[in-house]
Structure 1
Amino acid sequence: MLASTLTLITLLCVALLMPVPYSEMSPGPTVNTLGEHSGEPVLQISGRKTYPTSGHLNMTTVRVTSADFTMNLVEAVSGWLSSDEKVVKHDILYPKGQTAQQADQQNAEEFTQSQDSAKVAALKELGISVGGRVIVSAVVKGAPAEGVLHAGDVIKAVDGTTVKAAADVAKLVTKHQPGEKVVFTIVPVKNAGKKGAATEDLSITTKKSNDSGKSRAVVGIQAGVEHTYPFKIDIKLADVGGPSAGLMFALGIVDKLTPTDLTGGKFVAGTGTIDDNGTVGPIGGIDMKTIGARSKGAQYFLTPSDNCAEAAKDTPSGLTLVKVKTIGDAMDALKDIRTGNTAALPSCSAS
């Protein structure tokens, strides 16, 4: 009997400590985009008049276990029983085969893109013109363009045809047969920001594509658009990744550039991706973000419409969820909040 008992205890211990394919999410830090972080303003604008702000426009985050973290059954059960932690399948956060380094790089890239889109959306909302130029976003290792073109080079023309959009580059390159030469007219990245910088013509021999798409001529670059602004806008926030702060960054920029105090002194938090046209997109971990926001004192939470049903299932007491689809919706909601017309706020429902 003693041997059987010891064996059972041993088996139970092994079962409890065995690794399981799960990761954990919990409320992360929340930062006021109108305030300071680590001793310096989150939003820094120069070359344009700015105005005093009050209240909060907090971006929210989710803290997750790292890609290489191995959870055991005890930790999983503890997370399932907790009201402010969430256990999810590991592959939901980190697609199969993705390393910790790759996950960090992807999050950093998405965060950078979200900042750029937030600036564009904010300035468009204010009717301020935003410029743009087509650049080399990335060069594929081992491709014909490697060593010839570099990330950040401005693409002015391909084979003498002016490039106006990123998609123009691929269209012009694929007019060639593999093995033919294509000429890129560029401004090198080192001179990209200089007025009147000289261009260079660079010839690259195309090769046959080796992906699953239709066979075509390629040079091995990814073209993108780099926006140019009439004044300087810097977003200073380290140790944050992903695209979900876009909406709150955009609202913070608008608040600083307008005489109207958008929050009226109220504590507003929120989340949501944003594109150049001001459309707000869904994010992950909405329930963790509402918990984190309310714990810091948020009264209202700007919620992407596609996240509304999930957020409404378990809304923290004292927090009002506000449904938004665009930056315009968010601006309208902030007007209702600061004027006390809260009955007009579009709410989220669990259905």
Structure 2
Amino acid sequence: MPRRTATMLAATLMLFALLCAGVFVKVPYSEMSPGPTVNTLGESRGAPVISIGDRTTYPTTGHLNMTTVRVTGADYDMNLLEAVHGWLSGDNIVVPHENLYPNGKTEEQSTQENAEEFSQSQESAKVAALKQLGISVPTRVVVSSVVKGSPSEGRLHAGDEVKTVDGTPVTAPADVAKLVTRHKAGEPVEFAVVPAAEAEEARKAGRAPATRKVGITTAKAEGDGHAIVGIRAGTAHTFPFPIDIKLADVGGPSAGLMFALGIVDKLTPGDLTGGRFVAGTGTIDDAGKVGPIGGIQMKTIGARKAGARYFLTPADNCASAAANVPDGLTLVKVSAIGDAVQSLEKIAKGDTAGVPQCGDS
């Protein structure tokens, strides 16, 4: 066999071997890529993303798009070839699998956690939006969860409103534990609650909900042995009118800011965006504070591809986002919902000189 032919054959075989290795050798990495964006002022799957009842709403134009990131699943085994392709791609990021699924978190666990965070982000978005508009949102202490096998199982339920413990009014979630731990393990404690089911029936019937008393014998906690009943108390809100947020196949807390702004726009005369295409991201709490999120560069890429010209960026994500800004996209720095509203009002008027941007000193 001629030397030239032998050399070409050897090179071909080596290349084939490398390709096979790339396909069959698994690496502990996952991939993140830009996901779809959804206009919170518009519709998703034929239904409004944000619906508001029993309250005057106003027409909106433009976009306030929430953004997403696609990630490979917890059970996906990435091969070496895919990892190299991801590293070379300008739009995707390859990260250690542990970054996305720490401590062996399963796909099911991740989905459940994301669903819970998404639900909480919607609740906080509603509260923050109404507070921004000066609308009061009363709060109440509720049972957030009941520990399986605890004294409260079957007697208290998630969503029950806690009125008193041993006759003492409860005004904050911490009050519940404080009052229960006054007892010794094995002693009874009396709760006055409005059951979640009763509250819903009373609301539909237009009557005041009935309170019932529930006696529970405390158990001993592991460790220091203090008295417990096996519930976690939390806060729920009583909204003055219905606000419904519907968006399928999305999880996590990062759409909170954009949901809140969508609510503000629908409840405010005029047009918050001035018809502009604005996208953004950021968690939000009940007080309207905007927090950082993951995958910021994937979200800015996805937003620009969708047509956004402005991107509302959490202040704590500004440095990372500014390191690689898609052409034609302005990163607007926000720390709270009030910042975002003020910036949108300036953008709507075309007065962008005073809009704080990522990278400003």
TM-score normalized with structure 2 length: 0.92
Greater CA drift, 215-224 or 299-308: 215-224
> Per-residue CA shift, 1:70-97, capped at 9, x if unaligned?
1111111111110111111111111112
Shift of 1:302: 0.2
* 2-structure distance, mates of 1:344, 1:215: 58
* 1-structure distance, mates of 2:199, 2:155: 16
> Per-residue CA shift, 1:194-243, capped at 9, x if unaligned?
242221111111112226xx542111111111111111100011110000
The yes-or-no answer on 1:35 pairing with 2:13 is no
2:109 to 86, 102, 105: 102
SS in 1 for 2:320: helix
1:122 to 129, 146, 163: 129
Residue 236 of structure 1: aligned partner:
246
* 2-structure distance, mates of 1:204, 1:10: 68
Larger Rg: 2
Aligned residues: 349
- Classify 1:85/1:49 alpha carbon distance in 2 versus 1 (closer, same or farther; 3 Å): same
The yes-or-no answer on 1:207 pairing with 2:207 is no
Residue 286 of structure 2: aligned partner:
276
Shift of 1:274: 0.2
Residue 141 of structure 1: aligned partner:
148
SS in 1 for 2:104: coil
Partner amino acid, structure 2, of 1:23: S
The yes-or-no answer on 1:45 pairing with 2:52 is yes
Q: Are 2:180 and 2:189, in contact at CA under 8 Å, matched by a contact in 1?
A: yes
* 2-structure distance, mates of 1:199, 1:137: 18
1:22 to 5, 29, 35: 29
1:75 to 70, 79, 82: 82
* 1-structure distance, mates of 2:136, 2:313: 28
RMSD over aligned CA atoms reads 2.0
Partner amino acid, structure 2, of 1:225: T
Q: Are 1:313 and 1:350, in contact at CA under 8 Å, matched by a contact in 2?
A: no
1:61 to 52, 63, 68: 68
> Per-residue CA shift, 1:295-324, capped at 9, x if unaligned?
010000000000000000000000000000
SS in 1 for 2:103: coil
Partner amino acid, structure 1, of 2:64: L
Residue 113 of structure 1: aligned partner:
120
> Per-residue CA shift, 1:153-206, capped at 9, x if unaligned?
111111111111111111111111111111111111111232422211111111
SS in 1 for 2:125: helix
SS in 1 for 2:343: helix
* 1-structure distance, mates of 2:140, 2:209: 14
Residue 317 of structure 1: aligned partner:
327
- 1:259-270 aligned at under 5 Å gives the runs 259-270=269-280
Q: Are 2:165 and 2:189, in contact at CA under 8 Å, matched by a contact in 1?
A: yes
- 1:123-202 aligned at under 5 Å gives the runs 123-193=130-200, 194=202, 195-202=207-214
Q: Are 2:51 and 2:244, in contact at CA under 8 Å, matched by a contact in 1?
A: yes
Greater CA drift, 261-270 or 64-73: 64-73
Partner amino acid, structure 1, of 2:303: A
Following TM superposition, where does structure 1 have runs of at least 4 consecutive aligned residues deviating by more than 3 angstroms? 5-12
The yes-or-no answer on 1:250 pairing with 2:260 is yes
- Classify 1:7/1:292 alpha carbon distance in 2 versus 1 (closer, same or farther; 3 Å): closer
* 1-structure distance, mates of 2:76, 2:151: 39
* 1-structure distance, mates of 2:199, 2:27: 50
* 2-structure distance, mates of 1:204, 1:100: 37
SS in 1 for 2:30: strand
SS in 2 for 1:105: helix
- Classify 1:7/1:312 alpha carbon distance in 2 versus 1 (closer, same or farther; 3 Å): closer
Q: Which ranges of structure 2 fall in alignment gaps of 5 or more residues? A: 1-5
* 2-structure distance, mates of 1:180, 1:75: 60
* 1-structure distance, mates of 2:234, 2:342: 32
Q: Are 1:309 and 1:349, in contact at CA under 8 Å, matched by a contact in 2?
A: yes
Greater CA drift, 247-256 or 67-76: 67-76
> Per-residue CA shift, 1:37-83, capped at 9, x if unaligned?
10011110010000011100000010111111111111111111101
Partner amino acid, structure 1, of 2:60: T
* 2-structure distance, mates of 1:297, 1:163: 49
Q: Are 2:22 and 2:81, in contact at CA under 8 Å, matched by a contact in 1?
A: no
- 1:216-231 aligned at under 5 Å gives the runs 216-231=226-241
Shift of 1:13: 2.7
Residue 3 of structure 2: aligned partner:
none
Residue 303 of structure 1: aligned partner:
313
* 1-structure distance, mates of 2:329, 2:217: 60
* 1-structure distance, mates of 2:296, 2:199: 39
* 2-structure distance, mates of 1:14, 1:266: 49
